[in-house]
Amino acid sequence: MKLNKSDKFAGIKGPLLTIVMDGVGLNAPGNGNAVEAAYTPTLDMLMKKYPTVTLKAHGTAVGLPSDDDMGNSEVGHNALGSGQVFAQGALLVSNSISSGKMFESETWKAAVKNVLESNGTMHFLGLFSDGNVHSNIEHLRSMIEHAKKDGVGRVRIHILLDGRDVGETTALEYIEPFEDFLKGLRSDSFDICIASGGGRMKITMDRYEADWSMVERGWHTHVLGDARRFASASEAVKTLRGETHAIDQDIDPFVIEKDGSPVGTIEDGDTVIFYNFRGDRSLEISRAFEGGADFDKFDRIRAPKVYYAGMLEYDGDLHIPAHYLVNPPEITNTLGEYLADTGISQLAISETQKYGHVTYFWNGNKSGKFSEELETYIEIPSDIIPFEQRPWMKCAEITDKLIEMLLSGKYKYLRCNYPNGDMVGHTGNYQATVISVEALDLQLARILPVIDKLQGAVIITADHGNADEMYEIDKKTKAPKIGAEGNPKAKTSHTLNPVPCIFYDNFTSDKYTVKTNESYGLSNIAATTVNLLGYEAPDMWDKSIIES
């Protein structure tokens, strides 16, 4: 899989760096555009003086079902790192359900057989919304209906409240219709109800081992029934929101009880299906369920013997989980693999919150390196603190290490993710997000002189929008929606806006042309990258943005 040298352009002399400004999209001023409101002299200068194109970062351009689907970091980094568009989680699962393929799979049959033979319970655990980033509630509905058809007699649902990929206080808009749905299915032979829940940033859905205590709290809640008890999920949300004023993603864990006991602890002989399709926040809870006696991340108190399955295989290298309902996209011929096979040294760096994005997702959902000799991965540990309280996050430390690695001269190609715009944007805190973007701009100002010193070049882009639209917009009037307190309603989800792609090169830009009059997506970056390094792009990749 070696790249062929180009006979048109020898490539830049120094290193090539790709900077992913996570969650920084392009949008008109107003409506909570924290990117536009921030003081960003470096970014402003770059977009004024250097060739810039816009990239589509959502919908079909990144393998999602439709252009109404917002992009996300997983599919964005898959596209950036592979140079291709693959059908992604939401579309794969929807197709598998609509075709009936999921329910003919060996995993589904085994999951049903397990509870029928043990007279156990089928548990569904996952993110409870239609955000279509990590999960979709419609997939859950379909599986529940099919479980009933297949003779399952007892089902419990453990809900992780969203407020991040959907409106920040929309939990009841999902819970109340879902309770009606369950009521319509419930019968003497089909016992079904919600058993537990909590905010996605409070329990269960940690990633990259940033905070295993989240998973521990989830284990206590879903498995052991050890959390504050309520008569219903609606009561839990109303009470906890009233007491703490937390948005959905931060609501404390809760357990539903009846007659003084939890309605749905997880026991020996049960089946557990984790119905998220996105991998990063699914791995740790999967490891907790599948971990043997040597599992040491937290004390599970008891580890029931269950049949556990994920919606997809969340890690293709480590094969987690062992059982899954839908085959994930097989992402092949990635940029990292081609560069390694060609002998090009690479560095990937970010802080914990996005470390897996520039490694695991970038490499096509593979956790290992292609070359131990040629590749270096650096993780800067993230703070375990609400992001709005420290909106600069670890951007300065990332830059410190990145500059050190640039000056070492060891790496020809480097990639870096700054999480600020996305992670702080998800909090819904407008002022904190403005600060996060300003902190990012300071890092760009530090990096560019180093690139010039080394006669290198930089591609500055993003994986999707977020900080660019911090208020929910009424589609009819295109004005901000107003919340209960009369203020614009905070938006915590990603956006449908395009992202910038800036070419910073003060030494060889006269040797090639940036084609600014064509339409591009994130998948066009890979071919552009190898062209800038002086190589021809493989035929299966999407076209390059430059021409030499």
- DSSP three-state, residue 69: coil
Quote the CA–CA distance of 486 and 168 in Å, as a whole number: 16
305 residue type, one letter: K
- Residue 123 and residue 71: Cα distance in Å, rounded? 29
205 alpha-carbon distance from chain centroid: 11
- Return all residues near 544 (Cβ < 8 A) that are at least 6 apart: 524, 527, 528, 531, 537
The one-letter code for the residue type at 12 is I
CB atoms within 10 A of CB 323: 18
d(CA 418, CA 411): 19
CA distance 155 to 113: 14
Residue 382 appears among annotated catalytic residues: no
- Residue 187 token pair: 């019968």
Q: How far apart (Å, rounded) are the C-alpha atoms in residues 308 and 322? A: 8
Q: And the tokens for 197?
A: 């829940």
- The set of residues, in sequence order, having a beta carbon less than 8 Å from that of 447 and lying 6+ positions away, is 17, 19, 399, 402, 403, 406, 458
- Preceding amide of 321 cis, omega within 30: yes
Distance CA 476, CA 274 (A): 37
25 burial via Cβ count (<10 Å: 0-12, 13-18, 19+): buried
Place of tokens 């709290």: 217
Give the orientation angle of helix 335-342 with respect to helix 525-532, to 10 degrees: 20
Helices (H), 83-136: 89-99, 101-104, 106-118
CA distances from 168 to 159, 161, 343, 498 (A): 16, 10, 47, 23
**Residues paired with 335 in a beta bridge:** none
**Set 73, 96, 286, 350: catalytic member:** 73
Query: Which residues make Cβ contacts (< 8 Å) with residue 502, sequence separation at least 6?
Result: 46, 47, 50, 51, 52, 458, 459, 460, 461
Task: Give the DSSP letter of residue 344.
Answer: -
Q: Which amino acid is at 339?
A: L
Which residues are designated catalytic?
A: 73
